[in-house]
Structure 1
Amino acid sequence: MKLTPQQIERFDSDGYLFFPGLFTPAEVAELQAAVPALYARREACNVREKDSDAVRTNFAAHLCSEPFARLARHPRMVGPVQDLLGEPLYMHQFKINGKMAFEGDVWQWHQDYGTWKNDDLMPTERAMNVAIFLDDVNEYNGPLMFIPGSHRLGVVDAQHDRTTTSYPLWTIDKTLIAQLVERAGGKHGGIVSPKGPAGSMILFHSCLVHASSSNLSPWNRISVYLSLCAVSNHIRRFKRPEYIAHRDFTPIRCLADDCLLARPPVELPWGQGMPARALETSLDPIGAIGETTP
């Protein structure tokens, strides 16, 4: 999937693009069917909510699940990011966020690159997220909220929040959020929240400030996130375990556009379980790419 000049201009201005219903119901069903088994695993890859057993985030499904291994190589998700960054990409992070009915907790205001810079020593913001809805997203089940244009400020001040939720995050001060919202239009567009049917896709800049509220509705809101990074911009430190911040900088090779339904064979390096090395960490900066690719 190629972006048009108008879409590229809109991305540069707003920091995100929204594609309602980009994946068909049949394609979404392939992914939905694989989620329960992933969420049932009692491994480190499943981070659960602070006050319940509901899964908040599942990491690295593309290394152990065939449908998600295909999604990780899908041209509709990978192609637009490659257009914008202009070079081959690798998978920095792959997660399935579960904002479960009545139990899904907040994601505080943050920039993704803030975490990638501080924790992983990613050199620049040449990385971004692509999200696909596995459930319908409405105003009640905790949709993403963006501050349009906030990516143009680069990295803003953040604090490491280890207490609010079960997942630590580099979060942004409320006073600064209020200023950013007012700068973006206040009550007239200072916060936007893309909503749509399952199969919709959002592409957003790694410095775009975003958050989501808790899910008090009776409807789940599960989304898949591919965090794609330019190969030249690979991380320089393994402070976080491999199942969270990946260490294989091999460029992604896309499959055919019909891969979710055609089901071509894919490799599952963690198909027999997460390897012990996936839990290892180091505070030492790493060397050249050829010295670190498995």
Structure 2
Amino acid sequence: MVLTRTRVQDSYPTRVRGEAEPFERVHPAVWGQEHDGPCDAATLASHEANGFTIVDGLLSPAEVQGYWQELTRLSRDERLSDDERVITEKYSGEIRSVFEVHELSELIAELASDPRVLDRARQILGSEVYLHQSRVNYMPGFEGKGFYWHSDFETWHAEDGMPVPRAVSCSIALTDNYPFNGGLMLMPGSHRTFVPCVGETPEHHYQDSLREQEIGVPSKHQITKMAAEHGIEQFTGAAGSALWFDCNVMHGSGNNITPYPRSNIFLVFNSVENTLVEPFAADQPRPTFIANRDFVPITR
């Protein structure tokens, strides 16, 4: 692991004292062109404008079943019971997420290099890419807890040292996403605005924030303003569909009190031209199972 200690200019200051005003992002969401990958010009333009793209039927029903069985295997693997990569719910103790899952599952590691996935990541980011983060999320029926409104980039910038918002996430549904079982909500166009957050980053903040984030989230006033300006859309659809979303889009999910579980594979691709440096608003970087510092490009 090589941690670059050279301080670079901070274009997105956050974790400040007092009030901080949101400001316009200075970097694009789409860095590539139509000829660089599978997305046509209209899809790229929509992604640039809205900050996300939905791809229906990325995985076949048979593939979905295979990955679902893999999630079940991981959740029952006793060797992972005390593994720090396994994050449990704050109150119930149920598995919430398993991080660095590409190191635990050959099947998911292969998915990250699948042309259906990798070629879109390269096209959107306009470069070779590496896997910044991988995880599987479990949201069981009745007890699944949501994720509060946030921008991933704010955290990755503050606590991981990601210089600029040149990363994209791919969330692949392994269960049907309904409007009522905690599906991910997004504010279209919100990725064009960076919202600085108030408060100093506590030591080892990740140990609490992966269960329930309180530092690094916008105020209710800011969320209200953004919702009024951008509206809220929700990622729904059949298992096998995929949501590609910009690292700075404002998103969150509610609790799942229905009998219907919601699980997904979550892959974060970062440009090799945007590798991590020293954290911008934390005393030390988060562990590498959360923020990978092996910047070798993914190949097929």
Same structural fold, with TM-score higher than 0.5 when normalized by the shorter chain: yes
Alignment counterpart, residue 221 of structure 2, candidates 143, 154, 175 = 175
C-alpha distance in 2, partners of 1:118/1:23? 34
**Structure 1 counterpart of 2:211, one-letter code:** S
C-alpha distance in 1, partners of 2:122/2:293? 19
Query: Could you tell me which residue of structure 2 aligns to residue 82 of structure 1?
Result: 122
Does residue 45 of structure 1 match 2:85?
yes
Alignment counterpart, residue 201 of structure 1, candidates 226, 233, 242 = 242
SS state of the match for residue 153, structure 2?
helix
Alignment counterpart, residue 166 of structure 1, candidates 199, 207, 211 = 211
**Structure 2 counterpart of 1:17, one-letter code:** T
Q: Are the equivalent residues in 2 in contact too, given 1:98–1:221 (CA < 8 A)?
A: yes
Query: Could you tell me which residue of structure 2 aligns to residue 6 of structure 1?
Result: 42
C-alpha distance in 1, partners of 2:125/2:135? 21
C-alpha distance in 2, partners of 1:115/1:165? 11
TM-superposed deviation, 1:154: 2.9
C-alpha distance in 2, partners of 1:149/1:8? 14
Query: Could you tell me which residue of structure 2 aligns to residue 228 of structure 1?
Result: 269
TM-superposed deviation, 1:17: 0.3
C-alpha distance in 1, partners of 2:120/2:161? 25
SS state of the match for residue 248, structure 2?
coil
TM-score by length of 1: 0.80
Q: How many residues align?
A: 249
SS state of the match for residue 141, structure 1?
coil
Alignment of structure 1 residues 51-90 onto 2, 5 Å: 51-90=91-130
TM-superposed deviation, 1:241: 1.0
- Identity level (%): 32
**Structure 1 counterpart of 2:251, one-letter code:** H
TM-superposed deviation, 1:165: 7.1
Over the aligned positions, Cα root-mean-square deviation in angstroms equals 1.8
C-alpha distance in 2, partners of 1:175/1:234? 33
Query: Could you tell me which residue of structure 2 aligns to residue 251 of structure 1?
Result: 297
Q: Are the equivalent residues in 2 in contact too, given 1:101–1:216 (CA < 8 A)?
A: yes
C-alpha distance in 1, partners of 2:155/2:64? 29
Partner deviation per Cα, 1:145-173 (whole Å, 9 max, x = no partner):
00110001134435569668724462111
C-alpha distance in 2, partners of 1:100/1:94? 20
SS state of the match for residue 273, structure 2?
helix
Alignment counterpart, residue 194 of structure 2, candidates 140, 150, 154 = 154
TM-superposed deviation, 1:97: 1.0
Structure 1 145/181 Cα, relative in aligned 2: closer, same or farther at 3 Å? same
C-alpha distance in 2, partners of 1:128/1:50? 27
TM-superposed deviation, 1:103: 1.3
Alignment counterpart, residue 32 of structure 1, candidates 51, 58, 68 = 68
TM-score by length of 2: 0.79
C-alpha distance in 2, partners of 1:32/1:232? 34
**Structure 2 counterpart of 1:131, one-letter code:** S
Does residue 138 of structure 1 match 2:178?
yes
Query: Could you tell me which residue of structure 2 aligns to residue 100 of structure 1?
Result: 140
**Structure 1 counterpart of 2:293, one-letter code:** R
C-alpha distance in 2, partners of 1:9/1:166? 35
TM-superposed deviation, 1:50: 0.6
Q: Are the equivalent residues in 2 in contact too, given 1:38–1:61 (CA < 8 A)?
A: no
**Structure 2 counterpart of 1:15, one-letter code:** G
C-alpha distance in 2, partners of 1:242/1:156? 24
SS state of the match for residue 171, structure 1?
coil
Q: Are the equivalent residues in 1 in contact too, given 2:53–2:244 (CA < 8 A)?
A: yes
Partner deviation per Cα, 1:183-221 (whole Å, 9 max, x = no partner):
11xxxxx00002001100000011100000001011110
Query: Could you tell me which residue of structure 1 aligns to residue 14 of structure 2?
Result: none
